[in-house]
Amino acid sequence: MLSERERERYKRQILLFGEEGQEKLKSAKIFIAGAGGLGCPISLYLAVAGIGTLTVVDRDVVEQTNLNRQILHYDRDIGKKKTVSAGEKLREINPDIRVNVIDTTIDETNVLMLVGNADGIVDAMDNFPTRYLLNEAAINKKIPLFHGAIRGLYGQATTIIPGKTGCLRCIFPNAPPKEVFPVVGVTPGFIGMVQATEVLKYLLGSGELLANRLFLWDGMRSHGEEIAVTRNPSCMACGTMRKRTRKKP
């Protein structure tokens, strides 16, 4: 049940979703992997939208070079754990939600435990190896993975629904090389909002998701487009071939 205060807080979006929709958001648990360029705007907007439980994982400490885009971290937070800095701001901006922060490195030994009983995973990582782990966790738990990535003024986003859409490995079988990527805050801001919108639609069961659609954003030309993606039957992560038992000689 929504409290009187919540009804007021969410009044303008209850016009969109109804109280029933708002209740759905309140009872949702979303796992956000990363409190950086993507993770900051995504968690901020999911917090103010009233997602009942947000879990934010990050392993880093706030550095001066983060401040052009990681908008939950302020100048005074330099040297602080990103999880601590993000947790403070999120709880302050919406005390009516639960915010869990976990200061750790996501790896293959802890990813399933960290994701726990979340209803969805938001990919706010800055590298493909960890994204592939999130992808496998999403497949394992049969929950969606809301993918986003950026570089410079370019970005991409898609929503992966295990069993229904191609997975991250189907779409990107090989990781692009590691680099110190150029970035200005507006790009993760923009792509993060695409991801956060996907989360809301998924939880509300409304609209049309970026399912089997890869959204590509070119901020330099203010041009967005999408390309169709599909499941790869021999995908090493989700392929139907993968689980087939080995033939006996």
Partner 1 sequence: MRHHEEENEEETMKVKVRFFAQFGELLGTDIIVEPASGTVLSGLIKEIAQRNKDGYNAIFDEKDTFREFVILMRNGKRVDTIDAVTTNVVDDDEIAVFPPVAGG
Instruction: For partner 1, give the closer residue by CB, 25 or 121.
Output: 121
Among 15, 228, 243, 244, binds partner 1 (CB under 8 A): 228
Angle at 187 between CA 185 and CA 193, to 5 degrees: 105
CA 77 to chain centre: 23
User: Which of 156, 159, 197, 212 is in the footprint of partner 1 by CB under 8 A?
Assistant: 156
**CA dist list (Å): 218 to 130, 189, 226:** 25, 14, 11
- Rule CB under 8 A: say whether 151 interacts with partner 1: yes
For partner 1, the closer CB: 40 or 118 = 40
- The verdict on 127 binding partner 1 (CB under 8 A) reads yes
Is 6 a binder of partner 1 (CB under 8 A)? no
Nearer to partner 1, 20 or 179 (CB): 179
Residue number with CB closer to partner 1 (123 or 136): 123
In this chain, which of 21, 36, 120, 189 binds partner 1, going by CB under 8 A?
A: 36
Q: Which of 154, 193, 211, 224 binds partner 1 (CB under 8 A)?
A: 154
Q: Should residue 237 be labelled a site residue for partner 1 when binding is judged by CB under 8 A?
A: no
> Is 241 near partner 1 (CB under 8 A)?
no
Place of tokens 């394992």: 140
CA max distance for the chain: 68
Q: Is-contact 37 126, C-beta < 8 A?
A: yes
Least distance from C-beta 155 to partner 1, angstroms? 7
For the CB of residue 90, give the shortest distance to partner 1 in the complex, in Å.
Answer: 18
175 binds partner 1 (CB under 8 A): yes
Task: Provide CB contacts within 8 A for 238, sequence distance 6+.
Answer: 139, 162, 166, 167, 169, 170, 231
Is the separation of the CB atoms in 43 and 90 below 8 Å?
A: yes
Residue 167: left (phi > 0), alpha (psi -120 to 50), or beta?
beta
Residue 125 is classified by DSSP as -
- Single out the residue of 89, 76, 20, 84 nearest to residue 48, CA to CA: 89
Among 27, 104, 230, 240, binds partner 1 (CB under 8 A): 230
> Which residues contact partner 1 (rule: CB under 8 A)?
34, 36-39, 123-128, 148-152, 154-156, 172, 174-179, 181, 183, 188, 216, 218, 220-221, 227-230
